[in-house]
Amino acid sequence: MSAVIDSHPHGHVHGPAKGLMRWVLTTNHKDIGTLYLVFSFAMFLFGGSMAMVIRAELFQPGLQIVQPEFFNQMTTMHGLVMVFGAVMPAFVGLANWMIPLMIGAPDMALPRMNNFSFWLLPAAFGLMASTLFMEGGGPNFGWTFYAPLSTTYAPESVTFFIFAVHLMGISSIMGAINVIATVLNLRAPGMTLMQMPLFVWTWLITAFLLIAVMPVLAGVVTMMLMDIHFGTSFFSAAGGGDPVLFQHVFWFFGHPEVYIMILPAFGAVSAIIPTFSRKPLFGYTSMVYATGAIAFLSFIVWAHHMFTVGIPLTGELFFMYATMLIAVPTGVKVFNWASTMWRGSLSFEAPMLFAVAFVILFTIGGFSGLMLAIAPADFQYHDTYFVVAHFHYVLVPGAIFGIFASAYYWLPKWTGHMYDETLARLHFWLSFVGMNLAFFPMHFVGLAGMPRRIPDYNLMFANFNMVSSIGAFLFGATQLLFLFIVIKCVRGGPVAAAKPWDGAHGLEWTLPSPAPYHTFQTPPQVDERSRLH
């Protein structure tokens, strides 16, 4: 047996267990990072196919493709799979791949736990997907699974859904412990915290957020389990409980969760923009403090999801102002990214295109978030497609574009090959157009009063919904192009330079213009002639 599981210091399995078992038993952070990324892309396609069902049903008014019950199952599973199966594992995969390389560590601090935390995920999502085939169907109560809808009126499969959520939470907590242990204990000698790349900083703060809020999610689903099977009344008014308690506990997890999904993207974009601007990042220290401020504020704004449930006016005012306050550190970040690009020697390869789109479109999502933060206005926006537009503008150009930018940026490092730049830019532009076509019209139908999570709608919303559906189909189909680009890159292609994005070496074969005058590898020598050029 020892020959089978003999783990090399770098985690490669020797003896008869090569091939498949290498991936099952690996403790190598790069292998595990790859597993996370492949799994998250599979979940991205799985969750995306559910979005295609939703948008096909909404292509025209009237019920035509699926039953309302199945439509509800699709909206629920789409949200759960995208949040917990696509976005979070993708960032954990990037963390596994890049954090040890960035801080000079030989591997993650807890490599066997790293392997275990990954393999919990296929089990969790296999269980969750299986609920769709159970009697009574899968979860049909929205990705926020509000009680008592999810406790009193839920299908039988809700018990399995609760178990799947527990497995995902355990996986996330173990991954977070691993990141913290690695960053605090395995940095190269002489590397202080304030010398770490921002991607490492954002992940360190994200890991603390995960450890703080995942037990809260575990608590709320356990209370649901007790209400369903053990006769408690946490969320049942008939037994002295309170349905609004569910919302408080859920959103105390749920709001920091949305920052867990975006902070690592902030870190990746903070690496990509300086590279393609040929300038150091503007305002490193303020970026670190802004990330910390966002993380802290994320814990004191949860009830802005609950303005319409009847919380006291004082509470509404507090949560309104606290929510608006988050715009300040976020604005600091956007200002620093813009300042990094200002007068830089910019080039627009695929990672930079996704990063610039990230900054612009994420800012639009932030502005609609500020609108939703205004308590009296939120009474109009709440539960309409305006909210759907808002959080998709944060999560698609935010988290997903951040992941695409990171993938293109680090693919040469991961594979040793350059990807096809022309196809990658095509992937960007199709994604950019599809995403905006899909989600921008939702602002309009939402302001006009179209409710979300409903499979039918008034005729007056028909044109905008048709545009949204076409955009969604375009965005969804385009992701198959991304899969092709990555497979093509892994299998071969031009050999990547040692520094693939160094302006003096790696870019001249993708750029029509000459390589930039300065790479900032050494202090600039002021030369009036080159400045005139």
Q: Which residues are catalytic?
A: 78, 107, 143, 171-172, 255, 257, 259, 270, 304-305, 330, 333, 452
- Within 8 A by CB and 6+ apart from 367, the residues are none
DSSP state of 522: S
What is the rounded distance in angstroms from the CA atom of residue 390 to the CA atom of residue 440?
Answer: 9
318: closest CA among 297, 301, 295, 296? Answer: 301
Six-digit token string for 130: 């299986």
- Within 8 A by CB and 6+ apart from 482, the residues are 404, 407, 427
Q: Which helix (H) or strand (E) holds 101?
A: helix 88-103
By the 8 A CB rule, do 300 and 265 touch?
no
What is the rounded distance in angstroms from the CA atom of residue 279 to the CA atom of residue 263?
Answer: 22
**CA 482 distance to own-chain centroid:** 17
By the 8 A CB rule, do 424 and 347 touch?
no
What is the rounded distance in angstroms from the CA atom of residue 101 to the CA atom of residue 97?
Answer: 7
By the 8 A CB rule, do 382 and 432 touch?
no
What is the rounded distance in angstroms from the CA atom of residue 389 to the CA atom of residue 164?
Answer: 28
Backbone torsions φ then ψ of 384, nearest 5 degrees: -110, 175
What is the rounded distance in angstroms from the CA atom of residue 232 to the CA atom of residue 226?
Answer: 6
What is the rounded distance in angstroms from the CA atom of residue 142 to the CA atom of residue 77?
Answer: 8
What is the rounded distance in angstroms from the CA atom of residue 148 to the CA atom of residue 244?
Answer: 10
Task: State the CB neighbour count (10 A cutoff) for residue 369.
Answer: 21
What is the rounded distance in angstroms from the CA atom of residue 174 to the CA atom of residue 193?
Answer: 22
DSSP state of 417: B
